[in-house]
Structure 1
């Protein structure tokens, strides 16, 4: 059983993501300068952590180019704004099967499957304080796309991240992912304090209703520090759910494009609204220095 609601929480802002959202939001950060600026603006609004993907500056499509990560990170580190950098390591695990009765060969347009250590090239170079580790394979939304993370790949990634001294944010989309987290603990591949992100409301993972949320929370490893989020119109209401459940909060354009019906948001708008919700619950929002201490993060490169 997890501890009750905390008196202080931190906000993560997921500033751009990898989804096909650039065509639906003219203000979505795409270039390295835009992604860095959005991270800095989110930090000034109250986010302690910026969760970062990169995109092809020409097309807006998701990318895993280390040079793009390098530019984003260098811009943030050169700014006068403190924010903890959390780089995704989820890219390179995409499999899209062929249609109907012809699942093979794989669809080359959407498939991007690389080795586990290649997925960490940018993490090795830039040594952020945090990087993500998706903790399982999942049918992700409609069609023939599968978010693919095999146990052997994840073990190799966890081992390398541990060697680098980077704190993994363990992305949990469903109950079986928590089972795998506990196996990694038994195998000595994760160090305390554990940092877990409950990713809810995403087809076809765990739903974001209160009963499911609390069932997941009550299965977390003892002493784990967790955040939770939902997507779309459920993102901002779920801020309160995450806090009530004893966790921290994630918002941002990766998961939701709107501040309210018909009103497109910026990342800073979503962080500001989350902060308002949290403080209205008589809970204090933590700054990056406090979060570094809480998560025992090693100093960034």
Structure 2
């Protein structure tokens, strides 16, 4: 199966490179065509761009960007785009070569790589690996979106004022999200401020909200989970009497179930705190299908599960 995937990827990339050699598509009078990899990027850019943009997100609900491979439809969308936004920092690792190729023919921005490196988190086990889950620090996400707005303005020089006003309105919504999130997270008692999930996607969230974060699988969902990691987590749960652990919408719950069972065998009952959105958002048309709704869902779920008073 791996050999087939490699061959298919080479065919798709080859077709894309050929297409890039053709005459570039000219932007008409309508909205510019934006392609975003993740829904987090797609929704946020849509809010800032408004009627000036037509946004296509390649990765929908339940899709894991770490293992995602481009389809022919994706290649067509990228070919027809006026500008492309992706997260970068190897979140969409299997598409890196494609982004490198298309950057020769149109604007391409990796939001994570547009940020000051001093603001980024490194893997605790490998300082050369950067945590790509930047959208979980809303302050950092605003900075990344400012860079995206600048790129849109380059394509729409007559609409700079409109873009700036729409960005200001959206950032006001994000500031309200920050305030509400901080109020809810402050309710969690000091000894219960431990967030345990299937993979290590919540590092920036933990830094922003002063939570200790433990992901069984590491930064990428392609990392292996060993029995040692599961046993260490069980010991932590028992020793510190952590009440809840969490599953993720785009990740199997097998490792989390193993942790719950291990804690029970050690005499400590652990509840499933709920489902969090990590690498993917909710269904389109729902609150969780927006960046703000997804983030607030996570905050409420975590706060209610870990708040010892149950408020």
- TM-score normalised by L of structure 1: 0.30
Q: Per chain length, whose mean CA-contact separation is higher, i.e. which structure has more relative contact order (CA < 8 Å, sep 6+)? A: 1
- Bigger fraction of residues in helix: 2
Q: Which has the higher strand share?
A: 1
TM (norm. structure 2) is 0.29
